[in-house]
Amino acid sequence: MLTSTPSHSPLDIHLTKEAPVHADFHWQGQASDLISSAGSSSGTFVVQGGPGSGRSSFLRDVARAEIMAGTNPDSILFLTASKEAAGETNRWLLSAIEQEFDKDNAVERVFSEPIARSVHSFAFAVLRDQAARNPGAPKLRLLTGAEHDALVQDLLREQAEQGSDIWPDKLKPALTTLGFARQLRDFLLRVTERGVTSEKLREYGQRFSREEWIAAADFYDDYRSTARLMGSNALNASELIRAAVDALDNDEELSEPLNFDVILIDDSQFFDPLSSALVERFRSRARLTLVASAESESVFGFRGGSTKYAKSLVDKEKTIHLPGTKRMAPPVAELAAGVAKSMRTRESNRWAEEIRQQVATNSANDGTDPGEADIRILTSPSAEVAAVVDRVRRAHLVDNVSWKGIAVIVRSKSQAAPIRRGLLSAGVPVADDPTEIVLSEQPMVRALLLVVRGAVDKNLTNDELERMVLSPIGGGDPVTFRRILRGLRRGFMRLEFDDPDKADDLASTIMTDDEDFGRPVFRAIDALRFILLGGELADLTKNLTAREKDLIMRVRSVIEAGQTAYRNGESIETILWEVWNAAGLSDALVDQSLRGGAVGSMADRHLDAVMSLFDAAGDYVERRPSSTITTFLQFMRDQELPTGARDRRGPVRDAVVVSPAHATVGKEWDTVVVAGLQEDVWPSLSETGTIFRQEEFIDLVDSDVEPGLPGNRRGRYDDRLAEERRLFLVAVTRARRSLLVTAVGPHVSDDGKVDSDADTRSRFLEEIATDDIALSSHDGSDHESSESADSGATENSDGAATQSSLSMRPEREYPRVLSADSLIAELRRAVESKDTPSHEREQAARQLARLALAAGDTPSRESVIAAANPDHWWGLQGLSTTKSLHDDDKSYVIFPSQVEDYLAYPLGAFLKSVQTAGRDSSETLLGTLTHMAAEAMERGVDEEKVRDRFLATVPRLLGPHAWNKEEQIEAWHKMFNGLVEKLHERDAALTGHAEFEKDMGGTLIGHTDSGEEVQIKGKIDRLEVSDDGKYYIIDFKTGHKIPEDVPNHPQLKTYQTLMAKWEGPQESSLSSASPSASGKAGDSSVDNCLAGAELIYPHKKPRKRPVQAPLTNEDIDSWTRKLIELATVMAGPQFAGRFDLGRDEKNRFGSLGSVLIGKSVLDPTFTPSNPEDTD
């Protein structure tokens, strides 16, 4: 066990060994006789019993007794079905023997080598001894599932490329698919597990006209030949046992040193025929053999696991039956008995009856925890997850069960993901099984491999580059990533017009050729790639913020560490280490891991994944000394199956296990939740291996049932259903004290109508629904009591449903989760609801106050209970500010381009400005480009040069994936021609001079009622000044739709008002020509300086020029008053909304809507009925 002090204290780590629990069982009958006569008893015994009957514990007690009686530990063989069970047995034996002997003597005497081994470990030891006698033989190695999968895929890919004729024509198109490779690999494993050779498989295929079997046999021969040519002695798990059996049969001297006095076989129902054959090679020479078996737990039939071997050894006089259960609390045992009885076999019925008698005999209350077992039917998957999370948290917080003493069991891996997310979001640490996730898909490993690939071959796709920036190494987020790309794009646009030659040089370095147009196309993602891989683009990064630059430099520094190691010719492991070290994540992850909780479990996951990556790299280099980092990256990329992590025998993490049912055999927890009992999920009755007719092959070999006979399909269906029932029994019997089974059922309305579209609960729940098994629909709330009473259920003083009756009605209320978030939410509902009685509201407020005081000064985002403070409640506080948006020390500022929107819909205009702040759409960028092109021509830049630059830039702004790219480019080409034509027309009509993109600064137009200045700020696209000093304003529009009422166009009127009020610097060419000295606006009898305004649309030629006549002085005064009034509206902080938007306005403002003052859109009484009463 690893513990540490809080992170703010000096780190103080203590390592302690957690000793296994030794339960002292009182064995009876033959079981007791065997233990008492240890050292002298002989014969072969079959140990039978149901789940929890103590089969494994009995074998361990026999092993301990034999050692205590003087039997040499090296002459005891204890075989298990898994390495985890073997490790647990060895730890148990070591601890048990240490209690009997002096510690030093015990270790020397007992554990010169492990007593307990998995059957695969024992087979490996046999082959290792054989290899030791043949020094020239290739080194033996166990092939992982992921490696086996990759080898099969490689060979299939090669056969497909060479046009191999071993496969039927109907299968050739599928050779390169992952699904085909997976089914072929599984089929060959089943073949090997049953000891069937390729010759025998080919014979079966010919006899029963199964061309798939013939092809698979030919492939298997090619596979083994390829392995031999490579000089490899790597065997998968099935081949390992087969090779051990063959070695023992062909080499008598090999088996002589392997004489065992005592052989103990645990969980033999999981052994396939080859494993049983391996045991038989030694059993006849052993003094004592015990084979433990449980037909009701035989759940690996698809792998060849069965009870046939144990049944072949059954002798009534030497059969030891262990009755009942020794680990399950009475409620758990009763529910499990209901499952066993539904199986309708002699053994299951016997065990169920033993449980009933055991519970009845021990029904007296002895003061111990009686345990609990419930079944809950929920109305939705999210409600089911909430119920699971609640049970887990209550077990830990109320019942004081450690996190690692809790498990959630599901039928399939896909069901685990939402439960895992729900637990983590509630702060529950979740243990990860490294064998469940492909190593290259682990987030931290994927990020490291991406960085190494970038450092080695610099060939990352755009998606991979984005994932690298957003990975734990980059630490970015999608918003920041987009801002970086926009900043780089804006920098390049500016560089193109400021320094075209420099832009061309940069383009030749980082641009790619657009496949549609044959010209270089700038993409911001390419520029980012260039920078991250070591390039310098200072001109493009000027617009980036400090945080954005830091993110780029962080990723770049990690890549540079990998590049340096690669250039120096370092090994694969060294390159990986340099990248990992440069990332600087290890200290932070270790700190998070030591803190525990949900964050700690995620840190554990990342650290384990990195350790597994280094293990994989070391193993790869050991197997292929001449390999390179490039071949290793390809090897990792090709892996499609999970790879088990190396067992470092570390302490068991204090985290909840979420696991598929098959992975829980042989394990137990204090509290277990079996979730997802849905029809078509549990039981899962779909056939496996349909391409190779795998189930037909299994029936043929295991049961001698010829393929194609009538009734075969029905028989296989019944076998699958029976195995699914046994798997369900395994799941519910993993619990010692507390069990919860959950399912989602259809909602039943008050009038009895059932939602036919809802999920259907599993038939297994219906089968165990008996009068003495309760299906609880209680959610902890008082209003359920009446409904329970109606169904005949009774409740104890705590409100929990007793086991006197059954309710299969789904729960109507959403489950209450015992967490701070749920508690605070419930208290808030009670406080804020008008329907809550006053005394309950007062009590809820009191509890919220206590929680808020407990949170103290902790920031709201750092402490969960700080959310109890009303200061942090959304929607309850008043306005965040009553200040206007303009600076107190400055004037109100109006931008002409915003006037029209604010006059039409103030709230929508404000939200639109916030929504688009800092964001440049393609349309906006193209509009900016148009103005830049016009400005360049006005400054005297050659028209053709501007045209070339304009047309080269347009495709880059449209992006590489625009579906109508050619049409858009053609349209913008026409637009440029229209722009040139309009400029020529205006130049020809010009009697004075013109300025383009004229920045008018801030022009004072008046004061508000409170005396504050109001200014207009803006740039005029083209300002023409006639010889007599009149101003003609032109605004270019890149859109297509011309306003209907141009004479009253708000933007043009604002521009005219600006010029009428403008008093620029004396040296300005405009101020010297201005007639403002001869008259003042406001005096309608004197002419002003305005000649009018016009909208120019280069995209089209309107029938009527969109011209606005010059404003009179009266018009100017009226519009000025309007603008001064609008200035206070634009400054906020309140904005008026509308519900009567027209179609054009909806297109302009999008989905930016309004709500009534004082109402929430979540309020059921909300109805947008008063357009004027809005906020």
pLDDT in tens, 235-260: 877 888 888 888 888 877 777 777 88
What lies within 8 Å, CB to CB, of 824 at 6+ separation is 848, 851, 864, 865, 867, 868
Q: How confident is the model at residue 393 (pLDDT cuts 50, 70, 90)?
A: very high
Q: Which residue has the higher pLDDT, 486 or 538?
A: 486
Does pLDDT of 501 surpass 80? no
Coil, helix or strand at residue 956: helix
- pLDDT (mean) for 75-90: 88
Does pLDDT of 443 surpass 70? yes
* Residues paired with 375 in a beta bridge: 741
- pLDDT (mean) for 1142-1159: 54
* Residues paired with 76 in a beta bridge: 262
Q: Which of 265, 296, 322 is the last residue of a domain?
A: 322
Query: 722 with 611, same domain?
Result: no
Q: Is residue 602 part of a domain?
A: yes
The pLDDT score that the predictor gives to residue 843 is: 92
Backbone angles phi, psi at 1108, to 5 degrees: -115, 130
Residue 788, annotated as binding a ligand: no
Q: How confident is the model at residue 1082 (pLDDT cuts 50, 70, 90)?
A: very low
Q: Which DSSP letter does residue 399 get?
A: S
Instruction: Look at strands 233-235 and 430-431 and give their pairing.
Output: unpaired
d(CA 113, CA 466): 51
Positive/negative CA dihedral, 1093, 1095, 1101, 1104: negative
Q: Which of 738, 769, 790 is the last residue of a domain?
A: 790
Does pLDDT of 954 surpass 50? yes
- The two tokens of residue 1071 are 């101020």
Q: Compute and round to an integer the Cα radius of gyration of the chain.
A: 39
Tokens 């079966």 locate to 204
Does pLDDT of 1168 surpass 60? no
- pLDDT (mean) for 3-8: 41
Q: Is residue 949 part of a domain?
A: yes
How many Cβ atoms sit within 10 Å of the Cβ of residue 996?
19
Residue 54, annotated as binding a ligand: yes
Residue 1150, annotated as binding a ligand: no
Contact 813, 747 (CB under 8 A): no
What's the predicted TM-score (pTM) here?
A: 0.70
Q: Which residue has the higher pLDDT, 504 or 1105?
A: 1105
Among the residue ranges 7-16, 74-83, 247-256, 912-921, the one predicted with the least confidence is 7-16
- pLDDT (mean) for 568-585: 87
Residue 405, annotated as binding a ligand: no
Whole-Å CA distances, 671 to 298, 398, 435, 489, 802 = 23, 12, 23, 57, 19
Does pLDDT of 518 surpass 60? no
The pLDDT score that the predictor gives to residue 796 is: 38
The pLDDT score that the predictor gives to residue 35 is: 86
Instruction: Look at strands 1013-1025 and 1031-1036 and give their pairing.
Output: antiparallel
Among the residue ranges 123-127, 389-393, 506-510, 1054-1058, the one predicted with the least confidence is 506-510
Kindly tell me the burial class for residue 695, based on how many C-beta atoms sit within 10 Å of its own C-beta (0-12, 13-18, 19 or more).
buried
Query: 66 with 88, same domain?
Result: yes
Q: How confident is the model at residue 817 (pLDDT cuts 50, 70, 90)?
A: confident
Whole-number percent of the chain with pLDDT over 70 = 77
Output the average pLDDT for the chain. 77
Length of the chain: 1175
Kindly tell me the burial class for residue 398, based on how many C-beta atoms sit within 10 Å of its own C-beta (0-12, 13-18, 19 or more).
exposed
What lies within 8 Å, CB to CB, of 520 at 6+ separation is 507, 508, 511, 512, 513, 514
Q: Which of 746, 771, 790 is the last residue of a domain?
A: 790
Helices 462-470 and 524-532, axial angle in degrees (round to 10): 60
Q: Which residue has the higher pLDDT, 797 or 569?
A: 569
- pLDDT (mean) for 75-91: 88
Q: What is the pLDDT of residues 897-909, one digit of tens each?
A: 889 888 888 888 8
Does pLDDT of 952 surpass 80? no
d(CA 982, CA 961): 32
Residue 56, annotated as binding a ligand: yes
Tokens 């490790």 locate to 87
The pLDDT score that the predictor gives to residue 888 is: 57
Q: How confident is the model at residue 390 (pLDDT cuts 50, 70, 90)?
A: very high
- pLDDT (mean) for 112-117: 81
Helices 597-623 and 629-638, axial angle in degrees (round to 10): 120
Concatenating the DSSP letter of every residue in 38-54 gives: TTT--EEEEEEE-TTS-
Q: Is residue 812 part of a domain?
A: no
Residue 49, annotated as binding a ligand: yes
Whole-Å CA distances, 710 to 701, 715, 1030 = 18, 10, 101
The pLDDT score that the predictor gives to residue 1116 is: 92
Q: What is the pLDDT of residues 577-600, one digit of tens each?
A: 888 888 888 888 888 888 777 777
The pLDDT score that the predictor gives to residue 1076 is: 43
Contact 516, 965 (CB under 8 A): yes
- The two tokens of residue 660 are 């598929």
Tokens 């899962």 locate to 684
d(CA 327, CA 738): 11
Total structural domains in the chain? 6
Residue 618, annotated as binding a ligand: no
Kindly tell me the burial class for residue 638, based on how many C-beta atoms sit within 10 Å of its own C-beta (0-12, 13-18, 19 or more).
middle
The pLDDT score that the predictor gives to residue 1144 is: 61
Does pLDDT of 775 surpass 50? no
Closest alpha carbon to 543 in 476, 482, 469, 488: 488
The pLDDT score that the predictor gives to residue 801 is: 35
Q: Is residue 1171 part of a domain?
A: no
Q: How confident is the model at residue 1172 (pLDDT cuts 50, 70, 90)?
A: very low
- pLDDT (mean) for 508-525: 58
CATH code assigned at 615: 1.10.486
Does pLDDT of 1133 surpass 70? yes
Does pLDDT of 1129 surpass 60? yes
Q: Is residue 1145 part of a domain?
A: no
Among the residue ranges 379-388, 1062-1071, 1120-1129, the one predicted with the least confidence is 1062-1071
The pLDDT score that the predictor gives to residue 889 is: 54
Where b means 16+ CB within 10 Å and e means fewer, 438-451 reads bbbebbbbbbbbbb
Query: 506 with 465, same domain?
Result: yes
Whole-Å CA distances, 228 to 127, 216, 217, 620 = 17, 18, 17, 18
Query: 424 with 466, same domain?
Result: no
Triad 1034, 1039, 1043: Cα angle to 5°: 70
Q: Is residue 950 part of a domain?
A: yes
The pLDDT score that the predictor gives to residue 419 is: 92
Does pLDDT of 858 surpass 60? no
The pLDDT score that the predictor gives to residue 407 is: 94
Among the residue ranges 526-540, 686-700, 802-816, 916-930, the one predicted with the least confidence is 802-816
Query: 105 with 164, same domain?
Result: no
Q: Is residue 89 part of a domain?
A: yes
Does pLDDT of 90 surpass 80? yes
Q: How confident is the model at residue 9 (pLDDT cuts 50, 70, 90)?
A: very low
The pLDDT score that the predictor gives to residue 769 is: 63
Q: Is residue 183 part of a domain?
A: yes
Q: What is the pLDDT of residues 645-676, one digit of tens each?
A: 555 555 667 889 999 998 888 889 999 999 98
Among the residue ranges 200-204, 297-301, 414-418, 514-518, the one predicted with the least confidence is 514-518
Query: 985 with 1114, same domain?
Result: yes
The pLDDT score that the predictor gives to residue 959 is: 57
What are the start-end ranges of the E strands in 402-531? 406-410, 430-431, 512-513, 520-521
Coil, helix or strand at residue 809: coil
- pLDDT (mean) for 290-295: 90
Does pLDDT of 554 surpass 90? no
Residue 52, annotated as binding a ligand: yes
d(CA 575, CA 286): 52
Q: How confident is the model at residue 7 (pLDDT cuts 50, 70, 90)?
A: very low
Tokens 């200072």 locate to 538
Query: 715 with 690, same domain?
Result: yes
d(CA 911, CA 913): 5
Closest alpha carbon to 562 in 538, 584, 580: 580
Contact 418, 658 (CB under 8 A): no
Query: 586 with 677, same domain?
Result: no
Coil, helix or strand at residue 801: strand
- pLDDT (mean) for 195-222: 88
d(CA 172, CA 211): 13
Q: How confident is the model at residue 923 (pLDDT cuts 50, 70, 90)?
A: low
d(CA 463, CA 109): 59
Does pLDDT of 733 surpass 50? yes
**Helix spans in 542-585 (H):** 546-567, 572-583
Give the H/E segment covering residue 264.
strand 262-265
Concatenating the DSSP letter of every residue in 837-889 gives: -HHHHHHHHHHHHHHHHHHTT--TTT-SGGGGSGGG-TTTS--S--S-SS-TT
Contact 289, 315 (CB under 8 A): no
What lies within 8 Å, CB to CB, of 1004 at 6+ separation is 891, 1013, 1014, 1015, 1061
The pLDDT score that the predictor gives to residue 1147 is: 58
What is the domain range of residue 862? Answer: 820-872
Query: 965 with 1091, same domain?
Result: yes
What lies within 8 Å, CB to CB, of 850 at 6+ separation is none
Query: 306 with 363, same domain?
Result: no
Query: 968 with 1076, same domain?
Result: yes
Query: 226 with 252, same domain?
Result: no
What lies within 8 Å, CB to CB, of 173 at 6+ separation is none
- pLDDT (mean) for 712-732: 84
